[in-house]
Amino acid sequence: MENFEDKYEKKNPFTVPEGYFDRLTEEVMERVKAERSPRRITLLNAIKPYLGLTAMFVFAWVMVQLIAPRFMDSDRMLKQETEELLSGTGEAELDVNFNPTGDEILEYLSDEVDDYELLYADLY
């Protein structure tokens, strides 16, 4: 081993920028201080997640208030009409005695169906 050390001078060939070691302690202390000081939390940042959640609930509530009554009303009206039909009360009463003649049916069709549809029906 002596030969090796004699042959190759044991010298550190690496260098550092000028004044590096003089500044090093302060740099390390600054870094440690930066890591340990808690990040500044603003009021807005703190409540941001809750704001988002609240906005979502408000939106959902508004949508329910706007849309749900329409579905509920139409359901209720349909149910009411069906009940009226079945019970034989109300305006949409079924006329069991309705028995139109052939001429009456033709007259109804000529009023309701146009000529092209009739032609088309004749062809097939």
Partner 1 sequence: MYNGDKEIIELFHVQGKKENAFRLLVNRYSEKLYWHIRKIVLNHEDSNDILQNVFLKVWQGLAEFRYEAKLYTWMYRIATNESLNFLDEKKRKVHGYAVEITEMLENTLESDLYFSGDRIQLELQKSVLRLTERQRLIFNMKYFDDMTYEEIAEVLDVAVGTLKATYHNAVKKIEENMRLMDSLTL
In single-letter form, the type of residue at position 105 comes to I
Among 2, 6, 19, 21, binds partner 1 (CB under 8 A): 21
Q: Is 1 in the site for partner 1 (CB under 8 A)?
A: yes
Of residues 1, 21, 22, 23, the one with CA closest to residue 10: 1
Residues 26-85 that bind partner 1 (CB under 8 A): 27-29, 31-33, 35-36
Q: Alpha helix locations (H) across 18-114?
A: 20-36, 43-87, 102-112
# residues near partner 1 by CB under 8 A: 25
Q: Which parts of this chain interact with partner 1 (CB under 8 A)?
A: 1, 4-5, 8-17, 20-21, 24-25, 27-29, 31-33, 35-36
